[in-house]
Amino acid sequence: MNYENILAEAEGGIGIITINRPTKLNALNKATIEELHNAFKTFNEDTAVKVIIVTGSGEKAFVAGADIAEFANFSVEEGEKLAAKGQELLFDFVQNLATPVIAAVNGFALGGGLELAMAAHFRIASDNAKMGLPEVSLGVIPGYGGTQRLPQLVGKGRAMEMIMTAGMIGAEEAKAWGLVNHVVPQPELVEYCKGLAGKILKNSSVAIAKAIKAVNANFEDGVNGYEAEIKAFGESFGTEDFKEGTTAFLEKRKAAFPGK
């Protein structure tokens, strides 16, 4: 896969997407969002890829925000369209992807960068990472899901404080607040994520996809998460992975799941 703004490679069942705009601190513009969408979609459709890691190039930034120059002169209608399209193409798309996505937050994750990390299924941060939603300092609000996902992860009060102050928090504070799962030294970040991905690879990708859908259902308006779980649980009984998993357990051997 050849892209201008990102790098994408697959190895051993793991797809790695690297946002590669170092001179812009990996800021998101429309072209990069479209490329990210295509890379996530391609990996999701690849039966050999069972986990995706997304990170930024270099040691300074995961994604330092959106490319402000691109929308500084937008009208109300253009601004609304920008947010809607971005959420559809990337942020909602990643959240609802059947393939698990780990965000390896390797530095600044600000604005759209933090929103991308929050759209991933969970986050690992390097010890130098800084996270925040500084949009109100520009006279705008987070538009890629930040006002919705941040309260879900850290609670309403902390989310309100982060958004209203436009301030940043460090990696350890983000861990204490539940925004990231683990904090590791910068040079070890991607390898640590690969280690977690390796644990995921041993399990049923079909069951994981159903679990992602069931967990997300709890955060959808008008959807009963418990009912979604019951349905997904029942559906699992009709899969080859269920047959293999239960048979392997009863035969006291490791399961060899067919895959996606």
Which structure tokens are listed for 35? Answer: 């490329």
Which structure tokens are listed for 139? Answer: 């006279």
Q: Is 135 a catalytic residue?
A: yes
Residue 129 CB coordination number (10 Å): 29
Q: Which of 11, 70, 88, 115 does the annotation list as catalytic?
A: 115
Residue 83 CB coordination number (10 Å): 18
The residue length of the chain stands at 260
Considering only CA atoms, give the Rg of the chain: 19
- Sorted by sequence, the CB contacts under 8 Å of residue 248 that are 6+ apart come out as 254, 255, 256
Closest CA to 63 of 4, 103, 15, 3: 103
Q: Which residues pair with 7 in a beta bridge?
A: 18
Q: 113 and 28 in contact (C-beta within 8 Å)?
A: yes
Q: Is 115 a catalytic residue?
A: yes
Closest CA to 42 of 34, 156, 62: 34
Residue 32 CB coordination number (10 Å): 24
Residue recorded with tokens 């959807």: 223
246: left (phi over 0), alpha (psi -120 to 50) or beta: alpha
Q: Which of 9, 135, 173, 227 does the annotation list as catalytic?
A: 135
Residue recorded with tokens 């929050």: 118
Active centre residues (catalytic): 115, 135
